Chain A
Amino acid sequence: NAGVTQTPKFRVLKTGQSMTLLCAQDMNHEYMYWYRQDPGMGLRLIHYSVGEGTTAKGEVPDGYNVSRLKKQNFLLGLESAAPSQTSVYFCASSLFYLTGELFFGEGSRLTVL
């Protein structure tokens, strides 16, 4: 059972480049999330989705876009990467909204030079 899979796991970008992080879950979860983890900041929610075709902003959405065209996939895009977006990104999914556990992927480490 793969659970939540993120690709790529590592990426180095130059300022201004664009990229997409892919998250795939095989648990048929309705809810999916993108978090970033920075030293001393904990996990902060970037965007989330409560179902196929829906997306919403979280705590730190600026500079990111997302899409949920298929229930099992949640894409996080950086249109013009900035050094401030250097972080570890985690995708998560859940069966219930706000009252159940989140299942996390292994993380994607992004460095923007």
Chain B
Amino acid sequence: DQQVKQNSPSLSVQEGRISILNCDYTNSMFDYFLWYKKYPAEGPTFLISISSIKDKNEDGRFTVFLNKSAKHLSLHIVPSQPGDSAVYFCAASEDTGNQFYFGTGTSLTVIP
């Protein structure tokens, strides 16, 4: 059963507007979360992470929010740029586990 879910397979946003990508998880023991970005024919690249002791982490145009009670995290991209068009994966781990669990990805298209 999928422990990390990205329920929106795709998202389209106008350039300059905010992109919000969502991720839900079922395992309350998860304590570390990451977002990866993937272009076609390339491997995923790390974007931003957050530990469960925080509820927000910001890096330039990218902000990740964590709502532990709702088991939900989101990635905000402001302002969105055409180069942000890619597939975004969220991933989660617990320190007593043995792997990262990945969501199925959301394909973001930023329209110029």
Contact = CB atoms under 8 A, between A and B. Distances in A.
Contact of B45 (A33, A41, A45, A104): A104
Given A43-B89, A99-B32, A105 B43 contact: yes
A104 B43 contact: yes
Given A99-B93, A101-B34, A43 B44 contact: yes
Contacts of B59: none
Interface residues of A, number: 24
A38 B105 CA distance: 11
Chain B, interface residues (CB within 8 Å), range: 20 to 34
Contact of A106 (B32, B43, B94, B104): B43
Contact of B103 (A33, A42, A48, A98): A42
Interface of B: 2, 4, 6, 32, 34, 36, 41-46, 49, 51, 89, 91, 93-95, 97-100, 102-105
Given A42-B4, A42-B104, A102-B36, 6 more contacts: A41-B104, A42-B102, A42-B103, A48-B98, A58-B98, A101-B46
Interface of A: 4, 33, 35, 40-45, 48, 56, 58-59, 90, 92, 98-99, 101-107
